[in-house]
A = this chain, B = another copy of it.
Amino acid sequence: MAKTLLVLAATLAAAPLAAQTAPQSPTPSRPAPSAAEPAPEDWHDIPDDEILLIQLASGKQVAIRLAARFAPAHVANIRKLAAARWWDGESVYRVQENWVAQWGDPTEKKPLPPEILTRPPAEFEIGAFTPAQRLSKPDSYAAATGVTADGWPIASDGKAAWLSHCYGMVGVARDSLPDTGSGSELFTPIGQSARRLDRNYTVVGRIVEGMQYLSALPRSDAAMGVYATAAERTGIAWVRLASQLPPDERPHFQVRATDNARYAAMMALRENPAPPTIATGLNVCDLPAAIRRRP
């Protein structure tokens, strides 16, 4: 086994060797790892009409959880676009290094179906900030951050709240004016989180499976990362809600509820790693999405 990083992205793996050999300073705030395990009842099904599937021409599939509750006008458009098969045959046409992958119609000439609201109101912010779990410190972009009971990363200035543009979140591309994004052109941050888009773009979802089929696409050197030629684009075979597929072809996902002591213990473990690791903090974008396929 190669020398590898101890700290895993998606797990709470401790360092067995270090635990045996390093000085053990008492860390009373550190819960037992078993206390952070989800209980069976913590897993809740995500409705089939809140899962948007992108089937790439390569045969790979990307699954997006839609934030139907926080961006209802845009999600309504997205559902209609999928029903109209509007994205079928379109492409991922923009991949900009350390910024975003973006997909839809690169020509902007394809007519939208008549049932689409072409200029829905901006849904940059949502109502009151009532996270199920709150992080202990403010961060660079918000006075308060946390996670909703159903797992969405959220931030607030004390008045308004908004979903955070973390890695893998899905936003609505638009022109200069706030209400010019229909939801037909979507993007996801593929590098450093794109938090400076917070409150300025509508967040409609999060990629919960297949992110690597967007994040590992070749970058474009052209302006804003828009591929200079059609040949560079990644084709999209089709886009559908899971609920628009035959029942036996639907993938089913579950999200872990955060409004319980087990999730709080998971956060505390991350904020208080086992010695000799030094605790440095926890950011809202480092909270795991906590999504799984339904067993």
Contacts and interface: CB of A to CB of B under 8 A. Distances in A.
Interface of A: 1-9, 15-18, 21-22, 93-94, 96-100, 102, 104-108, 124, 135, 137-142, 166-168, 173-178, 180-181, 185, 187, 190-193, 195-201, 211-212, 215-219, 224, 226, 270, 273, 276-278, 280-286
A178 B216 contact: no
- 9 nearest A-B pairs in the assembled complex, by CB-CB distance: A17-B176, A141-B281, A140-B283, A9-B99, A18-B176, A212-B219, A167-B192, A140-B281, A3-B185
A225 B102 CA distance: 25
A226 B185 contact: no
A209 B155 CA distance: 33
Contacts of A216: 97, 215-219
Contacts of A9: 96-99, 191
Contacts of A21: 176-177
A136 to B, nearest CB: 9
Specify how many copies of this chain sit in the oligomer: 2
A139 B7 CA distance: 21
Given A2-B226, A6-B174, A22-B177, 19 more contacts: A2-B94, A2-B106, A2-B107, A3-B173, A3-B185, A4-B226, A5-B102, A6-B176, A7-B196, A8-B224, A17-B175, A97-B215, A98-B167, A124-B278, A135-B140, A138-B138, A140-B282, A142-B281, A195-B283
A137 to B, nearest CB: 6
Q: Which secondary structure dominates where chain A touches chain B? A: loop
Question: Which of A99, A167, A177, A224 is the most central at the interface, judged by chain B CB atoms within 10 Å of its CB?
Answer: A224
Contact of A102 (B4, B16, B96, B195): B4
A106 B196 CA distance: 38
Given A18-B177, A141-B280, A5 B98 contact: no
A199 B280 contact: yes
A223 to B, nearest CB: 9
Nearest to A99: B9
A177 B105 CA distance: 51
A98 B168 contact: yes
A16 B215 CA distance: 30
B224 A175 contact: no
Contacts of A176: 6, 15-18, 21-22
A203 to B, nearest CB: 13
A204 B174 CA distance: 39
A130 to B, nearest CB: 20
Given A192-B285, A196-B281, A196-B286, A3 B175 contact: yes
A1 B99 CA distance: 18
A4 B173 contact: yes
